[in-house]
Chain A
C-alpha cells in the first residue's frame, strides 16, 4: 500500500468525470458512492484528504474520501444529505456522472504510526473521513500499536458503517460505540463519546489520537484525552468550513490565520488551535 505523492493537475479547478458504480445507503440521510474515473486511473490520495464533488447542474461541495488508499475496489465518498448539492449527490443514480477534483488538504498521517497506539474518536458522520485511516491501520502488516475506535452517534439508526465496525473488531481493533439516545433495541452504551475514553486503557505517552466530529465534540474529546495524559500535539483533528476551491484561492475556509483547505483539514492540536475554534463568533 504505497501512498504516492500526488501531482496537482494543470488547472485544479477542472473536475475529472467519474462514474457512480455503486450507491450504498448508510442511514436515512447518509449515502456512500463508489466512484470510478470515466477514463484513466483513479486518483491517489491519503486518508483524511478530501475531494470537491460536482453534481452537474447543481453545484460543488467538499467531501472527504471514506475509503482506504490502495484498498481493492473503487474510491468511496460518503455524503450526508444536508443541502442542494449533497442531496443531488445522495440521490445520484448508479451509472450517472459526477465531477471530482482533488485530492486536497492534509491527511491523518497514518503511515507514521506503526509503533503508536492510535485512539480514533468519531462523532456522527465524522467517522467517514476516519474510515480509510482505520482500515489502513487495521490492515497494515507489521504494525504493533493497538487501534481503538470510539464512535458516538445520536441514535442507534444513525450509526454509520456497522459492517466496518464489526470487521475492524474482528481484525484486532478495540471498537466501542455509544449513542446519545437509545431505543428499545439498543443494548450498548448511552452517553456522549467522551464517556468511552475511560473505558479503554492505552499508554498516553505513545498514543496518537485522530478525532473528527462536530467542533464542540472535538473540543471535549481533546480535553478528555489531555486529562488522560495524551499530549496536545499528539492529537489530530479535522476541521470543516465552507470551501469553494480546495486550493487556497477562494477565501471561504478561513479560520483566523488558517486556510482550512490548504493548512488542513487535519491539524495537530495546539493551544492556538483551541483558541481559534473557541473564538466567539456572533
Chain B
C-alpha cells in the first residue's frame, strides 16, 4: 500500500530533522503545539524542541483506565491518545465572546481579538484529523460558519503522526479513521524504528507542507522506507481488537430507542460528562453571562455536555430529566443522528470515552449489546384494565 503521494517529495529524517521542522514552523510564526507529559497524561502544550516531546513514554488504556509508563527507548510517538484533542485548539473550552463597556445609558459591545499566532499541531493522530474534519462540518460546513473556529482552523498547520502503538481502547479501524492517513494534513510523520534510534518518514499533504519540508534536511525516502511504514501500520491495525459495526449502527440505534439496554447502561452511567469532554468531536456549548466588578458584562462560551440536566432545560423543565434519556441522547447522536445533521458519524474510534469513563462504560460494548438483541423492548407490567 504505497502512498499515492509523490515519492520524491517524501523524506526520511532523524530527530534533528524534527527539530528543524519545529524551528521552521516557529520561524513562520506558528505556535507549535505538541504532546507533552503532564500530571501522568500525554496532553497538548506549546513545544519548542523534540526534548519537550514524550520520549520513551507509553500509555496503557482500558475501560476506566489510563496509565503512563516510561521505558529507556527513544521513541517520541509510541503512545496512542491522551485526554486532550485538537478540539481545544480550534474550539477552546472557554472563550470570551464579548464584553460591554457602558457610558451612561449607551451600551457598547467589544469583541476580543483572536489570539496572535495560529497553531501548528505536532503529532495529531489520524483519528484526530478525522475529528477535525467532523468539527469542520459542524462549525464551518453549514450555512452560517463560526468565524472564530474557521479562522483558527484555516490558519493552522497540521503535522500528523501516524499511529504505530494503538491502545486497547482504540477502534479506528472500524471507523475508517486510522491507523494511517492519506490526506487532509500538511505533513505526515511515521515513526520507524532503526538500530540508530527512530527515524521519521515525512510525507507532504499540502503546498504549505511542501514549503516547510524543504527546510527539514534529511534524505529522500526510499521504497524500503515506505515498506517499513506499511509494516508499522499493518502491525498497528492487527493490534486493534475493539470493533464497532459502523455500517449498521446508524439504523440499529434509530430502531432501538426503547431497547432494554438503555436501562442497563443508565444504571451504570454517572452522567458526569467526562466522555463528552474528552471526545474530540463533541461540540455542545453553553453561554454564560457574568458581571465584572467594574460593571461590565462579559459573555463566555464554554463546552457543555448533554449529560447535564440543564442542557435540555425549557421553561417547563428539562426535556431529558433522567440519565436514561441523556445517555440515549449522547449515544444515538454520536453514532446515528449525527449522520442526519452533518452527513458523517460523530465517532472517530479514538476510544477516549471508554478510557476516561470513571465506570468504564464502553461504547463498543453498548452497541454490540443492542445489536445482539436487535428489536428487544422492555417488559412493561400493565396495571388495570385495557388501554387503547
Chain B residues at the A interface, C-beta cutoff of 8 Å: 97-98, 100, 105-109, 111, 138-139, 142-144, 146-148, 257-258, 283-289, 291, 297, 299, 301, 304, 306, 310-315, 319-322, 324-325, 329, 332-333, 337, 340-341
Encode contact with B along A239-253: 1 for CB under 8 Å, 0 otherwise.
011101101111110
B100 and A257 within 8 A (CB): no
Q: Are B320 and A251 in contact (CB under 8 A)?
A: no
Known: A262-B142, A282-B321. Contact between A14 and B98, CB under 8 A?
yes
Partner of A12, one of B144, B299, B311: B144
B84 to chain A minimum Cβ distance, whole angstroms, is 20
User: Which residues A198-257 have CB closer than 8 A to chain B?
Assistant: 240-242, 244-245, 247-252, 254, 256-257
CB of A250 within 8 A of CB of B288, answer no
Please name all residues of chain A whose beta carbon is closer than 8 Å to the beta carbon of B287 when the two chains form the complex.
Answer: 13, 59-60, 244-245, 250
A252 touches B138 (CB 8 A): no
Beyond A60-B289, A250-B287, A252-B284, list 18 extra A-B contacts (CB 8 Å): A11-B111, A13-B287, A13-B301, A14-B111, A54-B289, A57-B289, A80-B315, A241-B314, A244-B286, A249-B285, A250-B285, A251-B306, A251-B311, A252-B304, A254-B329, A257-B341, A282-B322, A282-B324
Separation of A82 and B313 alpha carbons in the complex (Å): 12
Q: What is the minimal beta-carbon distance from A32 to any residue of chain B, in angstroms?
A: 18
Enumerate chain A residues within 8 angstroms of B144, measured Cβ to Cβ: 8, 12, 247-248
The residues of B that contact A244 with a CB separation of less than 8 Å are 285-287, 304
21 CB contacts below 8 A, A to B, read A13-B98, A15-B98, A56-B100, A57-B289, A57-B291, A60-B289, A60-B299, A82-B315, A95-B105, A99-B109, A248-B144, A249-B138, A250-B286, A251-B304, A251-B311, A254-B329, A254-B333, A258-B340, A280-B258, A282-B321, A282-B324
Minimum CB–CB distance for A43 against chain B, Å: 15
In the bound assembly, the distance between CA atoms of A38 and B304 in angstroms comes to 33
Contact B148 A11 (CB under 8 A): yes
A13 vs B107: C-alpha distance when bound (angstroms): 16
Task: Give B327 Cβ to nearest chain A Cβ, in Å.
Answer: 11
Chain A, interface residues (CB within 8 Å), range: 35 or more
A136 vs B315: C-alpha distance when bound (angstroms)? 29
A37 to chain B, nearest CB (A): 12
Chain A neighbourhood of B257, CB < 8 A: 279
Per DSSP, chain B at the interface is: mixed
B287 to chain A, nearest CB (A): 5
5 nearest CB pairs, A to B: A257-B340, A251-B284, A82-B315, A247-B144, A282-B322
Contacting pair B285 A251 (CB below 8 A): yes
Using CB atoms, name the residue of chain B closest to A254.
B333
Contact with B along A271-282 (1 / 0, CB 8 A): 000000001111
CB distance from B284 to the nearest CB of A (A): 3
CA distance A245 to B299 in the complex (A): 12
A residues with a Cβ closer than 8 A to B are 8, 10-15, 17, 38, 54, 56-60, 80, 82-83, 86, 95-97, 99, 240-242, 244-245, 247-252, 254, 256-259, 262, 279-282
Q: How far is the CA of A156 from the CA of B319 in the complex (A)?
A: 29
A86 to chain B, nearest CB (A): 8
Which residues of chain A have C-beta atoms less than 8 A from B284's C-beta? Answer: 250-252
Closest to B305 in A: A251
Q: How far is the CB of B105 from chain A (nearest CB, A)?
A: 7
> Which A-chain residue is minimally distant from B110 (CB atoms)?
A14
Return B314 CB to nearest CB of chain A, in Å: 6
Chain B residue at minimum C-beta to C-beta distance from A17? B107
Once bound together, how far apart are the Cα atoms of A17 and B98, in whole Å?
Answer: 13
- Could you tell me the distance in whole angstroms from the C-beta of A88 to the nearest C-beta in chain B? 10
By the criterion CB–CB under 8 Å, are A249 and B98 in contact?
Answer: no
Chain A neighbourhood of B297, CB < 8 A = 56-57
Q: In the assembly, what is the distance between CA of A244 and CA of B301, in Å? A: 10
* Contact between chains at A282 and B97 (CB < 8 Å): no
Q: Are A241 and B312 in contact (CB under 8 A)?
A: yes
CB-nearest residue of chain B relative to A251?
B284
Task: Name which residue of chain B comes closest to A80, CB basis.
Answer: B315
| The residue from A10, A58, A97, A250 contacting B105, defined by CB atoms under 8 A apart | A97
Does the CB pair A281–B286 fall under 8 Å? Answer: no
